[in-house]
């Protein structure tokens, strides 16, 4: 059983289906031909999340028979991905959904019709120019991580042949501006859609594109009319979106299961740039893609595959719900305590009654009172999926140590915003018990000593050394010590989003810290005490 057999037609459909593989229901050759002639969607970033989610929901849309165009993927960073993960398999891949009940779904993804290297040194660049000049193009999108939207003075100064992704995209947008197939320069509309997991992601794309365009205008490389074209929201838009789906590296358990089926394309791929991929992609079953419906030239019907189109305001509400209540705060709380309690898997933490009740009560009892229901996704159902299906999933090899990275950068949003809303709405602050316990746990976590007294290495964080110095005077197990140094921690607005003493929580948190520092076993004892009392 090989992916390349599917495009050649040299395969036994009954054999695949008998082993639980869902094959494409559409004419792959016809879709590829139509897409080549009249492309509608180019996606930048050929990584695992793209194949497991955006490409997969387009595949579902094609399976309905109500759409006839695939997606063209363009890689801006690691060109080996095209050579090793796309070309040898005729752009086909296998999406493996890892369900929390221990079952898996195996679906062949055939929606990708071309895979191109987005760089001037390759002939693929000519094809990209051709695509961008085609009036049929509706959307370009991105899963290149937040870092992919960056730029610097050196790249801005490179003129029309930049190295960074946003510069290349701007150069291609200039080709669309110049397209002779339009009635005049700047006539062809397009939507520039981020699908990366970062807040207000459309603004990040826009900032990058505008930086290059403005520099090129200043340097006389392009006319002012090009910048006007990019700013004309009847022509070019940069909508926001919220995406949520855990897609880890290809897993050995999945590789073994596929091999047992007789599926031969199960090799691991590691590029020189340390991209980890494979012909198959494994991901969790739960997924969300909420998109601002602001398109100037039509759009692929991703809603046929489960995407939700809505307003910018609603996208923002969904993002806020996820980041400040229904997922991210729960992750951070369990990562802080998971590291101290010697856990290495999030799924294992979910079997711990104290930790499970801890995050469940944070979400439902303390954060939920200030959540704004976005309407398109129910906050209670979202948390329910997190607690009952996502975090306990044994196939998801996520670790509290990974989640605990950059905690100082996360606390203001994940907890500070909730506390601010309590204050702004005049709500009873005594309702906050486990969120303060999370913040108290951070002062204990910074010591780098587990509950059993053995050391651990706190996860990388740009403020780690500075904050560890604040709690350095404190010793675990020492009686009658001076905890006044904590005021230098919990008054910091840059770490918590507000002065916790001014918020009326500082003394409460201090008291919890004292309990957590009492000695071996104090972390478990304190956690159990407050969770049970709550």
pLDDT tens figures, 278-288: 999 999 999 99
Q: Could you give the 3-state DSSP secondary structure of residue 369? A: helix
- Please state the φ and ψ torsions of residue 289, each to the nearest 5 degrees: -140, 105
Strands (E), 338-402: none
- Report the pLDDT averaged over residues 506-533: 97
Instruction: Give the bridge partners for 140, in sequence order.
Output: 42, 192
CA 392 – CA 94 distance, rounded (Å):
24
Tokens of residue 307, six digits:
């995407």
pLDDT of residue 371: 92
Question: Counting Cβ atoms within 10 Å, is residue 457 exposed (0-12), middle (13-18) or buried (19+)?
Answer: exposed
pLDDT of residue 9: 84
Q: What is the dihedral of CA 492, 495, 499, 505, to 10 degrees?
A: -120
CA 164 – CA 532 distance, rounded (Å):
52
Q: What is the dihedral of CA 50, 71, 4, 33, to 10 degrees?
A: 180
Q: How far is CA 125 from CA 132, 134, 174, in A?
A: 11, 14, 14
Tokens of residue 235, six digits:
């022509």
Question: Counting Cβ atoms within 10 Å, is residue 123 exposed (0-12), middle (13-18) or buried (19+)?
Answer: exposed
Per-residue DSSP letter, 326: I
Buried b (16+ CB within 10 A) or exposed e, 503-513: bebbebbbebb
- Please state the φ and ψ torsions of residue 244, each to the nearest 5 degrees: -150, 110
pLDDT of residue 101: 81
- Output the CA torsion sign for 177, 178, 181, 187: positive
Instruction: Give the bridge partners for 75, in sequence order.
Output: 117
Alpha helices in 157-221 (DSSP H): 165-178, 201-218
- Report the pLDDT averaged over residues 354-365: 97
> Percentage of residues in the chain with pLDDT exceeding 90?
89
Contact 331, 313 (CB under 8 A): no
Residue 141 reports pLDDT greater than 80: yes
pLDDT of residue 179: 86
Instruction: Give the bridge partners for 95, in sequence order.
Output: 107, 281
Q: How far is CA 225 from CA 127, 138, 212, 213, 422, in A?
A: 25, 21, 14, 10, 48
CA 269 – CA 86 distance, rounded (Å):
11
Model confidence over 77-113: pLDDT tens digits? 999 999 999 999 999 999 999 888 878 899 999 999 9
pLDDT of residue 213: 97
Q: What is the pTM of this model?
A: 0.89
Question: Counting Cβ atoms within 10 Å, is residue 181 exposed (0-12), middle (13-18) or buried (19+)?
Answer: exposed
Helix%, strand%, coil% for the chain, nearest 5: 50, 10, 40
- Report the pLDDT averaged over residues 193-218: 96
> Percentage of residues in the chain with pLDDT exceeding 70?
100
269 CB-near residues (< 8 Å, 6+ apart): 84, 85, 275, 276, 277, 278, 279
- Report the pLDDT averaged over residues 179-200: 89
pLDDT of residue 99: 86
Residue 464 reports pLDDT greater than 80: yes
Q: What angle do CA 193, 56, 166 make, to 5 degrees?
A: 30
Backbone torsion region of residue 220, taken as left when φ is above 0, otherwise alpha when ψ lies between -120 and 50, otherwise beta:
left
Question: Counting Cβ atoms within 10 Å, is residue 476 exposed (0-12), middle (13-18) or buried (19+)?
Answer: middle
Model confidence over 42-72: pLDDT tens digits? 999 999 999 999 999 999 999 999 999 999 9
Average pLDDT, whole number, for the chain? 95
Q: What angle do CA 519, 458, 365 make, to 5 degrees?
A: 70
Instruction: Give the bridge partners for 277, in sequence order.
Output: 269
Task: Indicate the helix (H) or strand (E) that contains 4.
Answer: helix 3-8
Residue 253 reports pLDDT greater than 80: yes
Tokens of residue 96, six digits:
């493996």
379 CB-near residues (< 8 Å, 6+ apart): 321, 325, 326, 368, 371, 373
Per-residue DSSP letter, 107: E
Tokens of residue 489, six digits:
């921690």
Contact 253, 207 (CB under 8 A): no
Contact 300, 276 (CB under 8 A): no
CA 300 – CA 48 distance, rounded (Å):
21
């Amino acid at each position: 059983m090989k992916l390349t057999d599917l495009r050649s037609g040299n395969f036994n459909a009954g054999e695949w289906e008998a082993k639980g593989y869902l094959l494409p229901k559409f004419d792959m050759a016809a879709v590829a031909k139509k897409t080549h002639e009249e492309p509608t969607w180019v996606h930048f970033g050929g990584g695992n999340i793209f194949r497991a989610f955006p490409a997969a929901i387009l595949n579902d849309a094609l399976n309905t028979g109500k759409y006839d165009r695939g997606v063209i993927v363009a890689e801006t960073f690691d060109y080996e991905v095209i050579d090793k993960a796309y070309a040898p398999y005729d752009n086909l891949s296998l999406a493996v959904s890892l369900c929390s009940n221990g079952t898996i779904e195996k679906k062949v993804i055939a929606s990708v019709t071309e895979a191109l290297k987005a760089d001037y040194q390759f002939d693929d660049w000519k094809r990209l120019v051709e695509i961008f000049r085609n009036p049929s193009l509706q959307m370009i999108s991105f899963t290149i991580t937040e870092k992919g939207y960056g730029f610097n003075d050196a790249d801005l100064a490179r003129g029309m042949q930049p190295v960074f992704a946003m510069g290349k995209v701007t150069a291609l947008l200039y080709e669309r501006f110049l397209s002779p197939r339009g009635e005049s320069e700047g006539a062809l509309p397009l939507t520039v859609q981020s699908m990366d997991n970062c807040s207000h992601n459309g603004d990040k794309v826009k900032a990058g594109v505008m930086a290059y365009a403005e520099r090129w205008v200043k340097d006389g490389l392009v006319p002012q009319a090009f910048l006007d074209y990019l700013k004309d929201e009847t022509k070019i838009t940069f909508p926001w979106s919220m995406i949520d789906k855990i897609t880890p590296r290809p897993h050995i358990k999945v590789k073994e299961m596929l091999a047992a089926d007789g599926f031969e394309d199960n090799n691991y791929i590691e590029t020189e740039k340390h991209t980890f991929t494979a012909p198959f992609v494994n991901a969790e079953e739960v997924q969300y893609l909420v998109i601002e419906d602001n398109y100037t030239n039509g759009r692929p019907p991703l809603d046929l595959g489960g995407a939700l189109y809505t307003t910018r305001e609603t996208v923002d509400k969904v993002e806020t719900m996820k980041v400040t209540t229904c997922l991210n705060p729960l992750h951070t709380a369990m990562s802080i305590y998971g590291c101290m309690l010697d856990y290495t898997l999030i799924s294992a933490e979910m079997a711990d009654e104290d930790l499970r009740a801890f995050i469940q009560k944070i979400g439902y009892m303390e954060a939920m009172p200030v959540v704004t229901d976005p309407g398109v996704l129910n906050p209670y159902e979202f948390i329910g999926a997190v607690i009952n299906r996502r975090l306990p999933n044994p196939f998801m090899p996520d670790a509290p140590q990974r989640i605990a990275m950059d905690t100082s950068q996360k606390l203001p949003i994940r907890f500070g915003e909730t506390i601010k809303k309590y204050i702004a709405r005049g709500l009873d602050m005594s309702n906050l018990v486990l969120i303060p316990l999370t913040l108290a746990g951070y002062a204990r976590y910074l010591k780098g000593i587990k509950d059993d007294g053995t050391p651990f290495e706190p996860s990388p964080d740009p403020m780690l050394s500075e904050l560890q110095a604040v709690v350095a005077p404190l010793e675990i197990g020492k009686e009658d010590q001076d905890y006044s140094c904590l005021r230098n921690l919990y008054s910091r607005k840059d770490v918590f989003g507000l002065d916790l003493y001014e918020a009326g929580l500082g003394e409460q948190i201090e008291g919890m810290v004292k309990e957590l520092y009492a000695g071996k076993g104090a972390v478990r004892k304190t956690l159990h005490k407050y969770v049970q009392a709550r």
